[in-house]
């Protein structure tokens, strides 16, 4: 694990009162479902903020920053629960992305 925040959010996730109260066992299949739904909820909140900013309802930069942090935390927890190394997954996906979106080299 590269960053201390990752260890801390994992510790919080496994010891948090809310998850224990619900009866969900950390890192279980049920927990993976919860994390996936929570991730989707955070993405929805981000989308709503961006929509409001787009239509001129205000500057939501601080809120957007917080939602992105929430998304990253839930994504990390879900990947950890599924024993997926996200950095490795991105490296494996890069050839497919490069093929789909080729870039022009500068000459």
**pLDDT, tens digit (0-9, with 9 covering 90-100), for 31-82:** 999 999 999 999 999 999 999 999 999 888 899 999 999 999 999 999 999 9
pLDDT in tens, 5-21: 999 999 999 887 767 77
In a domain, 105, yes or no: no
pLDDT in tens, 76-86: 999 999 999 99
Which of the four pLDDT bands, split at 50, 70 and 90, describes residue 23? confident
In a domain, 16, yes or no: no
Q: Which domain holds residue 73?
A: 4-8+23-100
In a domain, 106, yes or no: no
In a domain, 13, yes or no: no
1 pLDDT more than 60: no
pTM, to two decimals: 0.86
CA atoms lying within 13 Å on the CB side of residue 19: 19
Coarse DSSP helix, strand, coil percentages of the chain, rounded to the nearest 5 percent:
75, 0, 25
In a domain, 29, yes or no: yes
In a domain, 76, yes or no: yes
Q: Mapping DSSP to helix (H, G, I), strand (E, B) and coil, where does residue 31 land?
A: helix
CATH number for the domain including 34? 1.10.287.1080
How many domains does one find in the chain?
1
Burial class from Cβ neighbours inside 10 Å (0-12, 13-18, 19+) for residue 3 reads: exposed
In sign, the C-alpha dihedral spanning 20, 25, 30, 33 is positive
């Amino acid at each position: 694990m590269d960053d201390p925040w990752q260890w801390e959010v994992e510790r919080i996730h496994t010891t948090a009162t809310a998850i224990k109260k619900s009866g969900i066992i950390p890192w279980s299949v049920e927990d993976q479902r919860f994390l996936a739904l929570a991730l989707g909820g955070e993405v929805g909140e981000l989308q709503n903020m961006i929509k409001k900013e787009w239509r001129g309802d205000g500057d939501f930069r601080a809120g957007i920053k917080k939602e992105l942090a929430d998304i990253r935390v839930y994504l990390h927890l879900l990947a950890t629960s599924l024993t997926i190394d996200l950095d490795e997954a991105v490296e494996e996906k890069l050839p497919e992305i490069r093929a789909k979106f080729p870039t022009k080299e500068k000459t």
